[in-house]
Amino acid sequence: MKVPLRYILPAVMGLVSAVLMVWDLHNQRIIMSMGMAWDTGAPLWPYQTPDTLLFALNVPAYLIATPISRLLNLLVPKHYFALYPAILLWWWLAGLYLDKRFVRERLGKPEPRQSCFACWPSG
């Protein structure tokens, strides 16, 4: 039996995001222990990479979680308490959409496609 994407995507991306969060927490401790040893801030690799990758993979989740984090005054790293559920929700919704899309294609029911100019008069 095929496992639906609505379960696979949140599990895989949740695991990837959790690893990136742990890596970022580890790097934050190193940056704090270094103090002002770097004149221009922490180097991009490896100290800023996990946060950049986490943001790049989960931009919609960040858009959902950032207002919640600010409302609750959650600063780094506590903003992960709002971000991680938003990541899981985002990838669950993406998997649900893809599952429905693939089921329609398997059943041979084409989804009605409308362009941006569907209401534009042709002529």
Contacts for 18 with CB less than 8 Å, ≥ 6 apart: 84
Nearest CA-CA partner of 23 in 48, 56, 42: 48
Contacts for 92 with CB less than 8 Å, ≥ 6 apart: 6, 9, 10
In this prediction, residue 76 carries a pLDDT of 81
113 against 73, higher pLDDT: 73
In this prediction, residue 121 carries a pLDDT of 55
> What is the tens place of the pLDDT at every residue in 84-95?
999 999 999 999
> How much of the chain exceeds pLDDT 70, in percent?
85
- Segment 89-109 shows an average pLDDT of 85
Q: 3-state secondary structure string, the chain?
A: CCCCHHHHHHHHHHHHHHHHHHHHHHHHHHHHHHCCCCCCCCCHHHHHHHHHHHHHHCHHHHHHHHHHHHHCCCCCCCCHHHHHHHHHHHHHHHHHHHHHHHHHHHHCCCCCCCCCCCCCCCC
> What is the tens place of the pLDDT at every residue in 25-61?
998 888 888 876 777 777 777 888 999 999 999 999 9
pLDDT band at 1; cut points 50, 70, 90: very low
Structural contact between residues 22 and 42, judged by C-beta atoms closer than 8 angstroms: no
